[in-house]
Amino acid sequence: MSRVCDLTGKKALKGNRVSHSNKKTKRRFYPNLQTKKFFIEETGEWITLKVSAQTIKTIDKKGIAACLNNLFKKGKI
């Protein structure tokens, strides 16, 4: 499975690992993804999403229905 947030689309970034001698080698910065189940009250069903920790905080603040509706309006889902 790919390391991409289901709601926001966050994915790994590329960068350099820099040693003490300032030698640079490639590395990846992965998002903090968590697999979490959410209950949608309108439909009465559970969904499982792989979301970033920042997205979980946003869902706790706004609610899962509001976040999904926002994505539908933007055309991302």
Question: Along the 77 residues of the chain, how does pLDDT read in single tens digits?
Answer: 689 999 999 999 999 999 999 999 999 999 999 999 999 998 999 999 999 999 999 999 999 999 989 888 888 66
Q: Would residue 6 count as lying in a domain?
A: no
CA distance linking residue 32 with residue 50, whole number of Å:
10
Torsion of CA 30, 65, 60, 8, to 10 degrees: 20
- 37 assigned to some structural domain: yes
Output the pLDDT for position 75. Answer: 80
Whole-prediction pTM value? 0.81
> What are the CA-CA distances from residue 11 to residues 5, 30, 32, 66 (Å)?
7, 7, 10, 23
Q: Which residue segment(s) compose the domain that 35 sits in?
A: 13-74
Is the residue at 8 inside a domain?
no
Which CATH number does the domain housing residue 27 bear? 2.30.170.40
Q: Is the dihedral of CA 58, 59, 61, 62 positive or negative?
A: positive
